């Protein structure tokens, strides 16, 4: 596993500094180590007090890590004083550690994190050692002396930072036009969409994510793009704690992606089971069927993974037409969303053809079966949503099977429900075998 070192301060509020860095490292699959530069008494309202460590204490921490492990990349954050900047520069040179320099000057919630005397030391001694420097607009202005009011200004600042010795530069555009300007000999532009949410720790999280991706071998443009996307998700998933600026939520952002991956994989595995079986085809309607799985806390069809086309008969087997993607089936999604309102654990569903024999096979298989009547359907309502809800309310809980016998111009249908698409598919395969015997 790659090892990444953060050289930064501690945030007692848990939103920024080494707390944000170590969370980010862990989530992105690198081993995080740290050298603490200062302890801050800090919360969502701002920095109340700063207690810098001695340069010797900072040096001892870096020595302890570097003499035991290979440090694949480091990132620096809050460095507090000129003496700490100098000792960090000495250690970066001593151990030849590639560095992401995040020139932290102010806390997101308010408060100074870099002394006035430390800025010249950072420019003269640490900046020339940086593989990449990642200032926001205000920090870039302070370091270069250039006003930044446009993307062209940001490009000029990036060139100036590289002229001062940095290997490459990323001017973070969150306080300008929400676009990051990346320069490593060529310009790359990332983002441009302003996002809302909690932002405390966003800068630390960005530089930590950048260091993690660089340690794992990504090119700078790719690492910058992935770091930007990671921070955007963390801001959107931010946590409103305390009375001020809430922290970004690295874990929730990644957890959401993990849930989407799990839902897609669940449907993909279910489709594979169905395509291999030789009896399920008897349950497929002439127009085909579909199967889907929702992410936890799904609120719309876009949160439900299903087959883009449909599952259709192909001789004595079935074949999925299209890939598995989100928002692919509004009909199956509405069944799932209606069921989840009654039982959030029921996140999968499939539609199969209706016949009295198939309903009997469901009952013989020990499944809980409920029904609704299309004749009772209110005008302007979605059958899938209204019918599912009506059947569940009448039955008293979410059943395994919901069916209707259709109406004039309305095709009858059976819906199988379950906790996962694999569970639903396995149930459908067993039903196919039982129906074949009947």
pLDDT tens digit string along 75-104? 999 998 999 999 999 999 999 999 999 999
Please report, to the nearest 10 degrees, the dihedral formed by the alpha carbons of residues 23, 29, 31, 32 taken in order.
Answer: -30
Exposure string over 223-253, b if 16+ CB within 10 A, otherwise e? bbbbbbebbbbbbbbbbeebebbbbbbbeeb
pLDDT at residue 111 in the model: 61
Q: In this predicted model, what pLDDT tens digit does every residue of 215-236 receive, in sequence order?
A: 999 999 999 999 998 999 899 8
Residues belonging to the chain: 438
Say if CB 225 and CB 180 are below 8 A apart. no
Q: In this predicted model, what pLDDT tens digit does every residue of 156-193 receive, in sequence order?
A: 999 999 999 999 999 998 667 789 999 999 999 998 77
Does the pLDDT at position 195 exceed 80? yes
Does the pLDDT at position 109 exceed 60? no
Give the list of residues 6+ apart from residue 414 with CB closer than 8 angstroms, or none: 351, 352, 353, 354, 358, 359, 362, 401, 402, 403
Instruction: List the one residue out of 392, 370, 374, 391 whose CA is nearest residue 383.
Output: 374
Instruction: List the one residue out of 235, 204, 207 whose CA is nearest residue 220.
Output: 207
Class of the CATH-defined domain 257-437: alpha beta
Q: Is 289 helix (H, G, I), strand (E, B) or coil?
A: strand
Does the pLDDT at position 260 exceed 80? yes
Q: Compute φ and ψ for 70, nearest 5 degrees.
A: -85, 120
Greater pLDDT, 375 or 49:
49
Q: How many angstroms from the chain centroid is the CA of residue 174?
A: 19
Strand ranges across the sheet with 304-307: 324-326, 304-307, 291-294, 348-352, 413-418, 401-404, 369-371
Q: In this predicted model, what pLDDT tens digit does every residue of 138-151 receive, in sequence order?
A: 999 999 999 999 99
CA-CA-CA-CA torsion sign (113, 237, 138, 186): positive
pLDDT at residue 428 in the model: 96
pLDDT at residue 112 in the model: 67
DSSP type of residue 172: B
List the domain boundaries for the chain.
3-248, 257-437
DSSP type of residue 196: -
User: Half-sphere exposure of residue 386, counting CA atoms within 13 Å on the CB side?
Assistant: 11
Express as a percent the part of the chain with pLDDT over 70.
98
pTM of the shown model? 0.67
Pairwise CA distance, residues 29 & 65, whole Å? 18
User: Half-sphere exposure of residue 160, counting CA atoms within 13 Å on the CB side?
Assistant: 18
Mean pLDDT, the chain, rounded, equals: 92
Does the pLDDT at position 208 exceed 80? yes
Give the list of residues 6+ apart from residue 173 with CB closer than 8 angstroms, or none: 137, 151, 154, 179, 180, 181, 191
**What is the fold, at CATH topology level, of the domain defined by 3-248?**
3.40.1190
Identify the band that residue 110 occupies on the pLDDT scale cut at 50, 70 and 90: low
Greater pLDDT, 32 or 376:
32
Question: Taking residues 299-323, what's their average pLDDT?
Answer: 93
Does the pLDDT at position 108 exceed 70? no
Say if CB 112 and CB 139 are below 8 A apart. no
- Rounded to whole angstroms, what are the CA distances from 59 to 64, 95, 122? 9, 12, 16
Say if CB 335 and CB 388 are below 8 A apart. yes
Q: In this predicted model, what pLDDT tens digit does every residue of 383-406 receive, in sequence order?
A: 788 999 999 999 999 999 999 998
pLDDT at residue 133 in the model: 98
3-248 matches 257-437 in fold = no
Q: Is 306 helix (H, G, I), strand (E, B) or coil?
A: strand
């Amino acid at each position: 596993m790659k090892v990444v070192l953060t050289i930064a301060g501690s945030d007692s509020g848990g939103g920024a500094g080494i707390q944000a860095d170590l969370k980010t490292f862990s989530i992105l699959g690198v081993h995080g180590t740290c050298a603490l530069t200062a302890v801050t008494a800090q919360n969502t309202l701002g920095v109340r007090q700063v207690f810098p460590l001695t340069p010797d204490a900072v040096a001892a921490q870096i020595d302890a890590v570097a003499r035991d492990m290979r440090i694949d990349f480091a990132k620096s954050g809050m460095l507090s004083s000129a003496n700490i900047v100098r000792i960090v520069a000495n250690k970066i040179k001593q151990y030849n550690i590639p560095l992401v320099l995040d020139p932290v000057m102010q806390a997101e919630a308010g408060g100074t994190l870099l002394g006035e005397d430390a800025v010249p030391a950072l420019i003269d001694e640490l900046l020339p050692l940086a593989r990449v420097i990642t200032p926001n607009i205000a920090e870039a202005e302070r370091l270069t002396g250039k006003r930044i009011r446009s993307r062209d200004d940001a490009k000029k600042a990036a060139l100036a930072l590289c002229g001062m010795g940095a290997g490459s530069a990323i001017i973070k555009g969150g306080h300008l036009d929400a676009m990051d300007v990346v320069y490593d000999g060529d310009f790359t532009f990332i983002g441009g969409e302003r996002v809302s949410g909690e932002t405390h720790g966003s800068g630390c999280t960005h530089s930590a994510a950048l260091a993690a991706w660089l340690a794992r071998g990504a090119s700078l443009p790719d690492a910058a793009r992935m770091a930007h996307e990671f921070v955007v998700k963390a801001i959107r998933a931010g946590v409103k704690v305390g009375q001020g600026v809430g922290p970004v939520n690295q874990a929730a952002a990644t957890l959401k992606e993990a849930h989407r991956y799990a839902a897609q994989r669940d449907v993909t595995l279910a489709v594979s089971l169905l395509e291999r079986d030789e009896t399920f085809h008897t349950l497929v309607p002439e127009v085909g069927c579909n199967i889907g799985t929702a992410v936890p806390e799904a609120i719309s069809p876009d949160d439900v993974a299903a087959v883009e086309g449909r599952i259709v008969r192909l001789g004595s087997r079935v074949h999925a037409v299209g890939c598995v993607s989100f928002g692919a089936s509004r009909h199956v999604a509405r069944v799932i969303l209606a069921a989840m309102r009654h039982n959030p654990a029921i996140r999968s569903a499939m539609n199969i053809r209706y016949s009295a024999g198939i309903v009997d096979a469901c009952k013989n298989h020990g499944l809980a079966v409920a029904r609704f009547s299309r004749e009772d359907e209110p005008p302007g309502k979605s059958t899938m949503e209204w019918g599912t809800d009506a059947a569940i309310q009448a039955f008293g809980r979410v059943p395994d099977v919901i069916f209707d016998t259709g109406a004039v111009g309305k095709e009858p249908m059976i819906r199988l429900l379950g906790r996962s698409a694999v569970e639903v598919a396995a149930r459908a395969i067993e039903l196919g075998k039982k129906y074949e015997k009947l």
